[in-house]
Amino acid sequence: MLELTSVTHVYGNGTRALDSVSLSVPKGMFGLLGPNGAGKSTLMRTVATLQTPTSGSIRFGDVDVIAQPEALRARLGYLPQDFGVYPRVSAYDMLDHMAVLKGVASARERKETVETLLNQVNLWTVRRKAIAGFSGGMRQRFGIAQALIGNPDLIIVDEPTAGLDPEERNRFLNLLAEIGENVVIILSTHIVEDVADLCPRMAVLAGGRIQLEGAPLDLIARARGTVWARTIDRDALDAYRARYEVISTRLFAGRTIVHILSDGDPGDRFAAVEGGLEDVYFSTLAHSRRAPAAHAA
């Protein structure tokens, strides 16, 4: 179990990237959803011991992460948003080098580790190919392979499917699902479908604060009756934004389907939406924007 208690991080310029974040993350896949700039990467770097929070505490099992960063690193696998490698080195040699850095000293043990991981992420046939020639999905699968060196108990993946085509995305998510049965995996992303597909528990981070936490199906059920939709002409959208709290729009056959947030039937031919995780996410972001405005007023 990963436990974060009142974790706050304020940068030197005064930006409060994290504001009293508290989370309990159990074994399995845990989704951390939030828009760009929400503080997700700051939180992931903090948990990964790459920066020290201004205040708060983080524990992973019996490890005090802030006081004992080396103890956490020995049990951690991390795939950051920007994963850089030496592009002209082969996948096999790069993974072998990273195994050395992770403390796998025995050449025989490294060989077994590297071969097992390359097969696990389906990169064995291209093991001698330079990473520069890999597709985006292949690089992400290599990133997971390096994160798995040493059989970590905690794995952090930050925006792993951004920019992947649908086939590579599905392959990558299936790989994460296989790994996530026995360890804690935090999937930090702004892509709602990734969390809906994989995670039995999730949280929404916006403005540096946890806005919502729970099981996706429970959160969807809780949002029923608050999200309404209708199809309008595209040139009418501004008028609807002025009258209603619009949380999302999408085009369909040249017209606009608009979703709004309302605690009761808004009339005007709106129909209640059965709801999905995307509606939960957008309505949560709308609530998070509304709270500071109401406070200021």
List all residues 6 or more positions away from 257 whose beta carbon is below 8 Å from its beta carbon. 229, 230, 231, 249, 250, 251
Angle between helices 136-147 and 107-120 (to 10 degrees): 140
**Highest mean predicted confidence (pLDDT) among 1-5, 85-89, 98-102:** 1-5
Q: Residue 30 corresponds to which tokens in the numbers above?
A: 């845990």
pLDDT tens-digit series, residues 107-120: 999 999 999 999 98
pLDDT tens-digit series, residues 266-291: 999 999 998 789 999 998 988 887 76
Any idea which fold 2-214 has?
A: Rossmann fold (3.40.50)
Distance CA 262, CA 270 (A): 10
Three-class secondary structure of residue 290 per DSSP: helix
pLDDT tens-digit series, residues 30-62: 999 999 889 999 999 999 999 999 999 999 999
Q: Residue 240 corresponds to which tokens in the numbers above?
A: 């609807």
- Identify the H or E element spanning 114: helix 107-120
Which residue shows structure tokens 């696998």?
A: 77
pLDDT tens-digit series, residues 207-229: 999 999 999 999 999 888 899 99
- Cα first-last separation, the chain: 40
pLDDT tens-digit series, residues 119-148: 988 899 999 999 988 888 888 889 889 999
Q: Residue 110 corresponds to which tokens in the numbers above?
A: 């490294």
Q: Residue 39 corresponds to which tokens in the numbers above?
A: 């503080």
The answer, yes or no, to whether residue 297 has pLDDT greater than 50, is no
Rg of the chain's alpha carbons, rounded to an integer?
Answer: 22
Average pLDDT over residues 90-94: 94
DSSP letter for each residue of 197-240: HH-SEEEEEETTEEEEEE-HHHHHHHHTTSEEEEEE-GGGHHHH
Q: Residue 162 corresponds to which tokens in the numbers above?
A: 């951004």
Which of 275, 194, 183 is closest to 228 using CA atoms? 275
State the Cα torsion 23-25-29-35 to the nearest 10°: 10
> pTM of the predicted model, to two decimals?
0.86
Answer for the pair 131, 121: CB distance below 8 angstroms, yes or no: no
Distance CA 141, CA 144 (A): 5
Which of 68, 71, 62, 131 is closest to 96 using CA atoms? 131
Which residue shows structure tokens 């509304």?
A: 290
Rounded to the nearest integer, the mean pLDDT of the chain is: 90
Distance CA 244, CA 223 (A): 17
Residue 295: per-residue pLDDT: 42
Three-class secondary structure of residue 194 per DSSP: helix
pLDDT tens-digit series, residues 222-249: 888 899 999 999 899 999 999 999 999 9
List all residues 6 or more positions away from 177 whose beta carbon is below 8 Å from its beta carbon. 29, 198
